[in-house]
Amino acid sequence: MLLLPTINDFTAQAHDPARYGQLDDDWWIAVADVIASTKLANAGRDRDVNFIAGAVVAVMAAVGARPEQPAACQFGGDGAVAAIPPDCADAARLALGALAHWAQADMDIPLRVGMVPVAALRRAGTEVLAALHDFGNGNVFGQFIGAGVPMAESWVKADPRWSIPPAPGELPGLEGLSCRWRPVPPSRGSVLCVIIDPVKPGAAGMDALARLQAEMETIVPTALAAPLGDGSALNPVVVPSAHSLANEARTERPAKRAARILRAVVGTFILSMIHHLGGRRFGIDTDHYRAKLAERSDYRKQAGGPRFVLDLTEDEAAGLEALLTRTEALGDIVFGTARSTATTLTCMVGDFTADRHVHFVDGDKLGFWRASVILKQKLAHRDAQTAQY
């Protein structure tokens, strides 16, 4: 059975194809995305959309893991993707159908879900390269390069044979999902969400992205632009908002919802009180937790091309956007960016006391989604111009 390679240093390793493994033909790419993102964003439901995307990651992580390795899953703001091993495919298919049913029935959010076999992507001339960004202790994020994941996402949207219909079912993994942190304002200037895809296929596109990343790091080292900093500025809330508690409650059957709310309120209150009493009490170290929370946020990732949520000064943001514009003009990439006034957090906490937790970030008002809209508009314009000739 294929074991995915691991990376530990995003800047040095995430853009190197040699650090990734090629998925075998019998693997699958699971895809989920919220259908009505525009309507939901306009209605101020961006945190709900993030929560649904986090739920997809949580469930796929539960059904796609094997004893020898965690699953490769990635949060996308208004959706998620995952690499599913062949022995987990049936469970993933059932879970995706259950997710779509739950999202519509309990959250009033339509969710498109599907699975594409890697064999079909390979027949279409593309590979799927995957790795795990490993933070230790089982805390990982999936990373993907090549055109396979974007192609799978487009196929699920365009072709019903790859889609999975909603159906009631079990949803493992949601017991640790939460969104209790308030949006985090930038400390350096503004939050910039960036989505970049290569134009050239294969190795040429990957080489172009690696060169671009090196140039970006000269403008601002992306590790220094982490939107949560080193975690020291994060302040735990005393009591979660009613809205966040309601979302958590919806992950449980009605009979268990009151208990879920009680656990959330008590746990959050304890974390906040220990933080305000100095950070260390009763075997809990909130300073350590905040530092690890910031470290294990997915503000840098690869999904065909790089995706970032960065806290930048105005000069840094202008410099990055100028670089991206020049590189796009050369025909190497297409990109989208969106400014946000804060970073939003969705958390997946497996075992707080065992230091098992990862965290998904987005720009407020669905920054990733807004950046993707810009990118898609550029692609549509380019395709229209091509069709004229």
Q: What is the pLDDT of residue 387?
A: 62
Average pLDDT, integer, range 51-60: 98
Identify whether the C-beta of residue 198 lies closer than 8 Å to the C-beta of residue 208. yes
Backbone phi, then psi, for 114, in 5-degree steps? -175, 170
Whole-number percent of the chain with pLDDT over 90: 84
Reported confidence tier of residue 283, pLDDT bands at 50, 70, 90: confident
**pLDDT per position as a tens digit, 127-164:** 889 999 999 988 999 999 988 999 999 999 999 999 99
Measured torsion, CA atoms of residues 260, 262, 268, 274, in degrees rounded to the nearest 10: -130
CATH class of 6-171: alpha beta
Q: How far apart are the C-alpha atoms of 226 and 311, rounded to whole Å?
A: 6
Reported confidence tier of residue 278, pLDDT bands at 50, 70, 90: confident
Instruction: Choose between 284 and 194: higher pLDDT.
Output: 194
Q: What is the pLDDT of residue 354?
A: 76
246 exposure class (CB count in 10 Å sphere: 0-12, 13-18, 19+):
middle
Q: What is the pLDDT of residue 388?
A: 64
Average pLDDT, integer, range 286-307: 94
Q: What is the pLDDT of residue 389?
A: 60
Judge whether residue 167 has pLDDT over 70. Answer: yes
Q: How far apart are the C-alpha atoms of 262 and 358, rounded to whole Å?
A: 22
Average pLDDT, integer, range 293-320: 96
Give me the residues paired with residue 111 across strands: 34
Average pLDDT, integer, range 10-30: 95
Q: How far apart are the C-alpha atoms of 269 and 277, rounded to whole Å?
A: 12
Closest CA to 303 of 3, 14, 8: 14
> Within 13 Å, how many C-alpha atoms sit on residue 24's CB side?
10
Give, in order, the Cα–Cα distances in Å from 218 to each of 213, 307, 316, 323.
9, 17, 10, 11
**pLDDT per position as a tens digit, 64-99:** 999 999 999 999 999 999 999 999 999 999 999 999
The domain segmentation of the chain, as residue ranges, is 6-171
Reported confidence tier of residue 13, pLDDT bands at 50, 70, 90: very high
Q: How many CB atoms lie within 10 A of CB 113?
A: 27
Average pLDDT, integer, range 121-127: 92
Q: What is the pLDDT of residue 108?
A: 96
Average pLDDT, integer, range 183-197: 96
Q: How far apart are the C-alpha atoms of 52 and 100, rounded to whole Å?
A: 10
Q: How far apart are the C-alpha atoms of 7 and 40, rounded to whole Å?
A: 35
Q: What is the pLDDT of residue 386?
A: 65
Can you count the helices (H) and strands (E) in the chain?
12, 17
